Amino acid sequence: MQIANAVIIVTGASAGIGQACATALAQHGAHVIAVARRQERLQALIHSLPGQHAIYAGDISDPATMPAVVALALAQFGHLDAIICNAGVGLSMPIAQLQWPEVVQCMNVNVGGVLASIQAVLPHFFIKKAGAIVVISSVVGVRALPYNGGYAASKGALERLCEALRVELRGSGVTLTVVRPGTVQSEFFQQRLGAHHDIRRAGTLGIPASQVAQTIITALTRHPRVLYTRWQDRLVLWGNALMPWLADSILAHTIDWQPDERSNPS
């Protein structure tokens, strides 16, 4: 796939990975359809990018959003070449305290929103017998972290959805790549659902969102099945597959939970 002059939808484009991806794609000559809930952020982004682009302010878990985004892309540019399914929401809470409404909200965005995005673009891709789908999953979609089980469950469900879809797309001309970032420098952790007070003794600053954006560029040009942003993340998953008991022990000693004091008044 040639990125120059390609029309590419990027969901969750107002911050973090999505914003970095939109910027990188524009620098490579693509026309970006930037999708997110915060219109003012999208407008600021679009004014900073070289070239011609479009924005759509909406929630991807709303069934009306993604069909409207595809219609906007086709009306403004006449074609659509790829979609980056990046929008998502975090959830941090011990399983014993996890609230089902928050799990449903997380699933609605991380699984339902991605499903709606893919279903919106596939009819067009099938007609042209070409198109690229890049889904931003997570390392925790393969190995859950303590106190992040609700979020990991949503990414695990997303991984299985993509696993089935990849087979269904064989012979269609449509490609699917799953990107599994580790910790990324963004506002993601501050915006999580739940009390999000997990304490990490062996914390990491994470990688820049721009590094993930470059991985996404690779996904669009080479179409591998799965991509990691760091070789260390792949190594961690290999180690977990070989010695899961050791991974459990390490995680138990490196991640604790600090209860929200507001919910436990003295």
Active site residues: 151
- Residue 207 makes CB contacts below 8 A (sequence gap 6+) with 181, 182, 183, 184, 185, 229, 230
The two tokens of residue 78 are 């006449």
Q: Which residues contact 241 (CB under 8 A, 6 or more apart)?
A: none
Query: Which tokens sit at 228?
Result: 């990691």
Give CA–CA dist 95/199, Å, rounded.
Answer: 16
Rounded Cα gap, residues 7 and 77, in angstroms = 7
Task: Output the furthest CA–CA distance in the chain (Å, rounded).
Answer: 63
Cα 68 from chain centre: 20
Alpha-helix residue ranges (DSSP H) falling in the chain:
16-27, 39-48, 65-77, 100-107, 114-128, 149-168, 209-222, 231-242, 244-254
